[in-house]
Structures are given as C-alpha cells and as structure tokens.
Amino acid sequence: MKRSVITVIAVILAGLAILITGCVKEIPDEPPYSTIPYDPEKVLTIAELKQIYIELGSAYTFTDDYSLFATVVMDESSGNIYESSFVQDKTGAIQLNFFYTSGLYLGDSIRVFLRGATVSDYHDLYQVQNLSAADNIYKIKTNNFIEPEVVTIDQIALAIDTYQSTPIKLDSVQFVESELGTTFADAVNLEDVNRMLEDCNGNTIIARTSGYANFAGDTLPKGKGSLIAIASVYNGEAQLVIRSINEVQLTGNRCGGGGGEPIDPVAEVNENFDSVQDYTDVNLTGWTNIKVAGDRRWQGKTYQSEKYAQSTGYNSGLSDMETWLITPPVINTNGDKELSFKTAMAFWAHSVNEPITVLASTDFDGTNFETATWTEISANLANAGSGDNNWVESGAVSLADFIGNVAIAFKYKGSDSESTSIRVDDVVINSGGGGGTTVFSENFDDSWGGWERISLLGAQVWDRDNNYGPDDSPCAEMTGFENGSHTNNDWLISPAMDLSTYSSATLTFETARNYDGNPIVVKISTDYDGMGNPNNATWTTLSATLSTGSFTWTESGNVNISAYTGQNVYMAFQYTSTNDMSATWRVDNIEVKAE
C-alpha cells in the first residue's frame, strides 16, 4: 500500500538539506485576514511539491491544508496559455491549471491553498490542477517581478527538469530559415504550431504558440536577437512558451548575415578567417552563411595552425546538402575590382556534383538570397587531382562584368556519400587584386638590399649565399640546424616602405620550407625605429599562405596591408626554432603594390 502523503512529506522535509542545497524556506508575510484557510506549519516549496509526485509515482490530490508561496512568472494576458499560470519560488517553478481564468498577472505574489488541488505531470511537465482562483489563490502583493535567467539552448536541453516552467532569456537566436515567412501559429483555424529557433552554433529548440495567442497571426521576425519565454517540456523535449510578443526582439543581422537587415556595401574584402572557431558556424560581420539543403553551414576549422572556412558532407547522414558562404557586397562602381582566394580539399568523394562553385551577384543585399541573380565565375579551384590539404590559388579573377555592388558566393553541394571536405581561405576583393604602383620589391639576387638580419637568440643567422630561389637564383634562408637543432629567434626586417601617399596596398611574397619546426611569422610595424631591436616596436602578425614542406615554393596570395597606408611601415619575417625541432625556411620575391 502507498505511503500516506504526510509520511512522504515528512521524509522530504527531513532530506531537504540534501535535495535543495543551501535552501532556506522563507514564508512571505500576508495580510492578517483571509477567508482561505492557512496553517503556517503546513507550507511546501515547489521542489517539495514535485518530490511528492515523484515519490508516489502518480498524481496526488491534497486533502489537508497545505499551502505554497510563489510568484507568477507568466499569465494569460497574451492568450498563449489559457486558464493557467506559471509560478516560481526559490526552489523551482511549476504550472498552475485552473477551472476558469485566474485573474492573476505577471509579478503577483500569491499563496496557493492546496486542499483539493492535484499535483501531477502532463507529458513530463509538472503541474498543479483543479484550482479555483476564488478558493485556492490568495494574492499577497503585485509587481514582484522575477528577472529571467540568461541561458543557452544547450543549457535548457541538458537540464530541462531544472529550467522547466521558469522564465529564461536567450541571446543571439533566430528562427530557422525554413520557417521564415510563416506566422507564429494558425490564427485562422486557431491551431497550435511549433516553430524552430536556433542559435549561431546550429542548436535548436521549439517555440510552441497557441492559435489563440494575440500574436498568433504575426509573421515570424527574420532577424537575430534576444527572446524571453517560459522553458517547458513535452515528452522529454524542451520547448519554449512565449510570454509576450514584446519580448521577442529579433531585429539584428542573422547568424552569418542573410534574411535580417540589409548589409552595407564595403570598399573591399580581406578575410583570412583567423577569428573563426573550430566546428562552429562561420559568423562574420557582413558575411552570409546560408543552409539551402540539410542542416549544415560553412564552419571554422584549423589544420596545421591555419584557420579557414570549411564545408563537408562527411558523417552528415544527409541525402542532400547545400550551403552558401557569401561575402559582403563590395562597391565596384568602376568595375576595377578583382577577386582572389585559395581552396583546398580533403578526402575526395564526389562523383556527381562539383563540391564547390563560385558565383557573383550585383543585386544581393543580405536579405534576398533566394531572389538575387547569381552568375557562376571561373577560377582555379581545388579538385580531385589537387591532393589532400594542398592549397590552390584562384588566380586574379576580374569582376569587370559585375558593375555596382558585387557579392561573391562559395557554394558547397554534397551529401553523406558525396562528402569531400572543401576549404576556403584568404578571400580578397580589391582594386586590381594587388595592382597599382610597385613601391617595394626584393628578390635578394644581388645583396641584402638594406634588410636587417637580427639574431635575438642562437648562433645561426639569416643567409643568402645559395641559389635555391624559385628560378634557381639567390633567396633568403634561415635554419636552426647545424650539427643538430638549436634554439633561435631571428628576424629579417625590411627597409622602411613609404606608403604615406597611398590609400590601399598589397603585399606578396613566396616561401619554401622543409623539415619539422615552427612556422615562419610575417609581421608589420609602423613604429619600428630601424635601430636593430624589434622588441622596441609594436608588430602585427599578417596572415598569408606559407609553404607546407618539401621545399615547395608557395605564393603568399594577396596580403592586404591597406590598414597601414598613410605612413612608413616595416615588414619582417620572424624565425624561431628549438633544440628539438628546426625547420629550414626560404623567402623570395617580396613585392608591395599600392594605389
């Protein structure tokens, strides 16, 4: 035979120190007179109320004069819930269901008289049923608002029992693209509807709205932003119940752009993806990252210390996958802009589709992906014959045919079976792709040409006494190996480059390397004094394509240094090695063009 509720409650109260760590029961003061019975010795918390149901394993109807003190965290005013309220105390939250509308409002502090009420659950959502506002509710005070807790979709999904029925706030969320253009619910047939919210990492959660809600017929907002709702659950799956349309503030640019506010055109693009996070959707200012088929977008990835954008169908389980990564629109009024980038592939598995296509549009503004006009453009791309992990330079792609504001899209098409991994890096769109006046060049054929060789650590130094350059001519070379590896810190610093009269500039060079060791670091400074100590200056690391080994000469790609124009600059190659590893690095054909 089941234990009596009094026995169960006694057990619960005895174990409170364990079940609710650090919780001290506080019974709010109430006015001295009420027609609703009250026994101060019989007060339960929401956590204790839930535990009664858990202990009994079934619904229980109270026959004694127990009470619950709580605060209303969602009322019926929006129509999204009916004849019910959500309430919360310091131990948790629960739904109250009434025979009729309750007359309760957000922020009401109440005492719930539990005699005749039933504690149960509805598809895993804890609730108290069979309540009458007249017989069971005593309002103590008003405007006692509880601030929503800021959480993530992941947190709710992993701990729904903790968060259920509580007010929460999500930041940087949006409705998924497939839902855009629809309404919150069916206001015509008065039917409830589930809509899917997502964050910028692709985590999703359902927002369920009643057809009777006063915002049921409102079109879903297209943008990204914050949302306040009640965390709920149905058959173990987390859901959200929106309290008010005023708490849905999705007005910003969507994750990765697209579908939100229009994107302002930019003068140029120079993106090396150094800010992306591994296995996280690319979300860069002005860029658009769109899922067309399947549930994957372009994501950040790192290989051999280089970051880039990657798309892959590997392990996706998808029969069809398509995702587009789109640059901001670039001002190309004179048609003088050029595009350059590099691609690489890994684990080629495509046999039907081309995994990557590059397209251009002059009418894409960040909000009209589906209706914009896209034209495929030709460029050198990684393919089945490129070899795994080898970067392929696109070459300079003229955008003269795309007058106006031109956006460039990298389209990936694949599936679980057509699962080639495609990588994109060093996307540059500017005037002439590095064209203009040559303000500096160095090939080390005749001498050091004013370059400083500074050894801060180690006996080895930069050398040019060889003919190992791309055309069998001299080049600059540095290695920490001499009868074994040695620790070194050596700088090769250029003469001053006068960029004071220019507004844009591009650096190019070539590198070759072999053996294990640290990568060479390319740096630039505007305050180096030319006196031989680089530690006295501020240096910024530049992102460029470097050789991956076997003394293979590799072009850097167009490195945009326009941020350093209007002044004199120095550039440097910093080499480091250890007693365990000392790669050999070669540098040649350095050139800076400006306009």
Residue 151: which residues within 8 A CB-CB, separation 6 or more?
163, 168, 169, 170
Tell me: pLDDT of 33 over 70.
Answer: no
Average pLDDT over residues 7-27: 49
Among 536, 534, 525, 535, CA closest to 499? 525
CA separation, residue 369 to residues 262, 290, 324, 363, 472 (Å): 11, 9, 10, 9, 49
CATH architecture of the domain with range 437-594: Sandwich (2.60)
Q: Other CB atoms closer than 10 Å to residue 7's CB: what's the count?
A: 11
Q: Can you give the pLDDT at residue 595?
A: 78
Confidence of residue 18 (pLDDT cuts 50, 70, 90): very low
8 A C-beta contact, residue 289 and residue 283: yes
8 A C-beta contact, residue 345 and residue 339: no
Tens digit of pLDDT for each residue in 121-146?
Answer: 999 999 999 999 999 999 999 999 99
Tens digit of pLDDT for each residue in 287-298?
Answer: 998 888 888 999
8 A C-beta contact, residue 63 and residue 133: no
Average pLDDT over residues 198-220: 93
Q: Can you give the pLDDT at residue 9?
A: 58
% of the chain beyond a pLDDT of 70? 92
User: What's at 479, amino acid-wise?
Assistant: T
Tell me: pLDDT of 213 over 60.
Answer: yes
Structure token digits, residue 207: 């927002």
Average pLDDT over residues 479-491: 94
Tens digit of pLDDT for each residue in 217-268?
Answer: 999 998 889 999 999 999 999 999 999 999 999 987 777 555 556 788 998 8
Q: Can you give the pLDDT at residue 436?
A: 66
Sign of the alpha-carbon torsion through 58, 62, 64, 69: positive
Tens digit of pLDDT for each residue in 97-118?
Answer: 999 999 999 999 999 999 999 9
Tell me: pLDDT of 25 over 60.
Answer: no
**C-alpha span between 567 and 440 (Å, rounded):** 14
Q: Can you give the pLDDT at residue 3?
A: 44
Strand pairing category for 404-414 and 330-332: antiparallel
Confidence of residue 70 (pLDDT cuts 50, 70, 90): very high
Q: Other CB atoms closer than 10 Å to residue 25's CB: what's the count?
A: 16
Q: Domain extents for the chain?
A: 5-141, 149-252, 269-431, 437-594
* pTM listed for this prediction: 0.52
Tens digit of pLDDT for each residue in 398-450?
Answer: 899 999 999 999 999 999 999 999 999 999 998 754 456 889 999 998 889 89
Specify the fold of 149-252.
Answer: OB fold (Dihydrolipoamide Acetyltransferase, E2P) (2.40.50)
* Long-range contacts from 261-264, C-beta under 8 angstroms, 24+ separation: 261/223, 261/366, 261/367, 262/365, 262/366, 262/367, 263/288, 263/328, 263/329, 263/365, 263/366, 264/328
Tell me: pLDDT of 462 over 80.
Answer: yes
The SS3 of residue 55 is helix
Q: Can you give the pLDDT at residue 40?
A: 92
Q: What is the CATH number of domain 269-431?
A: 2.60.120.200
Among 119, 162, 138, 159, CA closest to 70? 138
Specify the fold of 5-141.
Answer: OB fold (Dihydrolipoamide Acetyltransferase, E2P) (2.40.50)
Tell me: pLDDT of 182 over 80.
Answer: yes
CATH topology match: 5-141 vs 149-252 = yes
Q: Can you give the pLDDT at residue 335?
A: 87
